[in-house]
Amino acid sequence: MSRVGKKPIPLPKGVKIHIAADSLQVEGPKGKQSVPVPPGITVRQQDGHVEIQRESDDKAALHGLTRALAANAVQGVSSGFTRELDIVGIGYRCDVKGRVATFTLGYSHPIEFYLPDGIDLKVDKQTHLVLSGADRQLLGQVAANMRALRPPDPYKNKGVRYTGEALRKKVGKTGASGGK
């Protein structure tokens, strides 16, 4: 049984919250975010902490979810999140100009990827991408969409992968078999 919901969320300096009836507004140096608060869940601010409480035990799952979303919003607007990707393969690379990332991934054409507002991309050595932003969900979705442009193939592990991702490499065909 998880007790995530009972843990208080510390508020860093510069982060302000506004509690409305059905949402929690979090504002900080990196932007603003809104967290929905479902019925049966209450949010209170006490001496530099945010506490989330539930009416009854049938709201336990929503309790933990709301606390996790609120904690992610507080961390996002104060320090932000990062996600790193690596591009592996000869001739595979990425260039970024403004809000458009152009991928060369072995297809017959370059792929243009438009970055949504709130997500920043930094490219090191054309093969190491660092995504950063305040919204954890949006950041993870953008990283997953970039990885989906060319997922690592199981034989040579070429493609776009998360930094530190463990990949299993399949064994290819072996020498002559059967036939004359």
Domains of the chain, residue spans: 4-78, 81-162
Judge if 4-78 and 81-162 fold alike in CATH terms: yes
pLDDT reported for residue 141: 92
Q: What class does CATH assign to 81-162? A: alpha beta
The Cα 6–Cα 53 span in angstroms is 7
Amino acid at 180: K
Cα–Cα distances in angstroms (integers) from residue 166 to residues 45, 153, 154, in the given order: 41, 13, 12
Question: Which letter does DSSP use for residue 58 in this model?
Answer: G
- Buried b / exposed e over 21-54, threshold 16 CB at 10 Å, is eeebebbbebbebebebeeebebeeeeeebebeb
pLDDT at 2: 66
Using only C-alpha atoms, what is the Rg of the chain?
A: 22
Percent of the chain clearing pLDDT 70 (strictly above): 96
Amino acid at 110: P
Return the pLDDT at 161: 85
Beta partners for residue 101, in sequence order: 96, 113
Task: Quick: pLDDT tens for 23-55.
Answer: 888 888 888 888 888 888 888 888 888 888 888
Tally the C-alpha atoms within 13 A of residue 68's C-alpha that lie toward its C-beta. Answer: 11
| DSSP class of 74 | H
Give residue 44's pLDDT: 86
Give the residue ranges of the chain where pLDDT is below 50: none
**CATH fold label, 4-78:** Outer Surface Protein A; domain 3 (3.90.930)
pLDDT at 168: 78
- Distance, in Å, from the CA atom of 58 to the CA atom of 147, rounded to the nearest integer, reads 38
